[in-house]
Amino acid sequence: MYRYDEFDQQFVAQRAAQFRRQVSRRLAGELTEDQFRPLRLMNGLYLQLHAYMLRVNTPYGTLSSRQMRQLAHVARKYDRGFGHFTTRQNIQYNWIKLAEAPDAIADLGEVGVTSIQSSGNCVRNITSDQYAGCARDELADPRVYCELLRQYSFLHPEFSYLPRKFKIAITGSPNDRAAVAVHDIGMRMHNNERGEMGFEVLVGGGLGRTPYIGQTIRKWLAPEHLLSYVEAILRVYNMHGRRDNIHKARIKIIVNQMGIDKFRELVDQEWEQTKDGVLKVPDDEVARIKAYFAPPPYEKLADGKAELTMLRKADPIFDRWVRGNVVDHKVPGYAIVNVSLKAPGRVPGDITAETMDAVADLADRYSFGEIRVNHRQNLVLVDVKQSELHELWQKLVALELATPNLGLLTDIICCPGLDYCALANARAIPIAQDIAHAFSDIDEIQRIGHFTINISGCMNACGHHHVGHIGILGVDKRGEEFFQLTLGGSSDQHASLGDRLGPGLPQAEVPGAIRKIVDTYFTMRANDERFIDTYRRVGIEPFKVSVYGAETARAH
């Protein structure tokens, strides 16, 4: 994985020192809160309901065991002993004191972890496929290009005060696990007709109160033009994006107001001027970064499936876990292990410092010291020998990290909601816990199959509710919390936005409504059809009727 060299290290140390000065100026009253806010935000520091929240990047979802231990250290020393992994491959600490934030940031910087631009109206953490470098279906490792963009975007002098935040994601696989279609810029690596690898570039995707699926602005972009093309998009956005209304300031709004063709024309005009200039990515820089992502020293192993099959036959609970959470690896004899942070009753994405340390130890022992973070708030050990799966599983069970629900109904995405967040309208966490409680039979949820539930506590959509098979949005109606359901959303390569099911429901009725939706799915599904496919085939009507009754469904 990428390791900071002397330049990166110096940059991060200087950034930490600068923030320390800004905090002291704020504490001394030399900066007003209005002036300080964008400075702290660009260092990932939010003021929440109860305390400051620090959001820390895990760049493109990759962490070393050393970095994970430092995340644990920060949780212990500056927080209340835990952290929360988010949908953007970040970790958030919820109980940070302003005066200590510079120390926390400096400690993280020592191991090459930053909170730089994890917030603010600038380019955010570049996200990617959690299986990058290991997935069987991958064309090439997207992290090389994520890292190029990470460097390019850090404290960009021209683009640190964009109209609004800007999110970029890259997938190197045709099976999109990085939700690139709901990013300001999404990129899909693929070969052109000459067999050369490049990027399909999508622009203007995003969730929030006005959700859009990104549109293709360029079918194929040569890797050497990655930075100049992104700069052209950012420049057009910086100059033309709306600044009169914060809710209309994202790039998706101007892309859709002027139309993708007009927007493309502006970008191309701009890009023509710069594409062959100083931003052209030199081969030796790509080679330098690629070397960091060279595969770990895999052993030459035979595919160990036969032995594994025996173990699975002998132990149905192990078998269930392998079926649920283990994914094929591109190297024979290895496997990708998903570490579920969604045990029943737990807060999705939350993890204690002790568990962080334990996961770091497991990574050292079983997976070349590397940990990944996925956008569904789970962790991944990507390079595990098949022959060690059983042993690793037993240790994960002891840590309550082996719930075999990856991609299943209780693998719920959930924002912090009104329990922490100053923006939220409703509590999201208790809904997730209620649903997990109502669907505690793991055999049942495996029978239900691939099923995503995404919960947001407000329309800002941090919980990606628009792209959950079931989306749940917390709304406030005259001081009471209600939950609005949407069906049919998806964030993969066939991304779609969910359709509103009907009037909002009180908290107590949500698990029951989901039960009715699942029952309806069971009666309508053809063979092994996934829920999303059934939904797309039969439409929303039968689900509406099952939740609201025929009469109410007609009225809505």
Partner 1 sequence: MSLIKGGHLVEDTFVDASGGETIPASGPVIVNLAQWQAQRDALLARGTPLGLRLHSDQSPEAIADDIQHFALIALEFPKFRDGRAYSYARLLRERYGFKGELRAVGDVLMEQVFFMVRTGFDAFDLQQSPDPVADFQTALRDFSVWYQPTGDGRPTAMQLRHRTR
Contact footprint for partner 1 (CB under 8 A): 5, 7-8, 10-11, 14-15, 17-18, 21-22, 35, 38-39, 121, 151-152, 154-162, 235, 238-239, 243, 273, 278-279, 282, 284-285, 288
Phi-psi region of 185 (alpha: psi -120 to 50; beta: other; left: phi over 0): beta
Closest distance to partner 1 from the beta carbon of 237 (Å): 10
Alpha-carbon span 7 to 4, nearest angstrom? 8
CB nearer to partner 1: pick between 237 and 548: 237
Closest distance to partner 1 from the beta carbon of 405 (Å): 40
CB nearer to partner 1: pick between 8 and 176: 8
CB nearer to partner 1: pick between 15 and 167: 15
Residues 6+ apart with CB under 8 A from 192: 198, 220
CB nearer to partner 1: pick between 253 and 351: 253
**Structure tokens belonging to residue 469:** 């098979």
Kind plus residue range of the DSSP H or E element containing 484: strand 480-487
Closest distance to partner 1 from the beta carbon of 58 (Å): 19
CB nearer to partner 1: pick between 8 and 79: 8
Cα–Cα nearest to 5, from 141, 112, 109, 104:
112
Report CA 253 to chain centroid distance, whole Å. Answer: 22
CB nearer to partner 1: pick between 18 and 507: 18
Residues 6+ apart with CB under 8 A from 319: 312, 313
**Strand stretches in 340-408, DSSP E:** 350-352, 370-373, 379-385
CB nearer to partner 1: pick between 192 and 273: 273
Residues 6+ apart with CB under 8 A from 10: none
Closest distance to partner 1 from the beta carbon of 23 (Å): 12
Cα–Cα nearest to 424, from 386, 459, 454:
459
Closest distance to partner 1 from the beta carbon of 461 (Å): 23
**Structure tokens belonging to residue 470:** 């079931």
Half-sphere exposure (CA, 13 Å, Cβ side) for 467?
31
CB nearer to partner 1: pick between 4 and 298: 4
Closest distance to partner 1 from the beta carbon of 37 (Å): 9
133 contacts 182 by C-beta, under 8 angstroms: no
128 contacts 60 by C-beta, under 8 angstroms: yes
CB nearer to partner 1: pick between 109 and 349: 109
Helix, coil or strand: residue 176: coil
Closest distance to partner 1 from the beta carbon of 239 (Å): 5
108 contacts 115 by C-beta, under 8 angstroms: yes
Q: Are strands 168-171 and 127-128 parallel, antiparallel or unpaired?
A: parallel
Closest distance to partner 1 from the beta carbon of 187 (Å): 19
Report CA 488 to chain centroid distance, whole Å. Answer: 19
Closest distance to partner 1 from the beta carbon of 113 (Å): 17
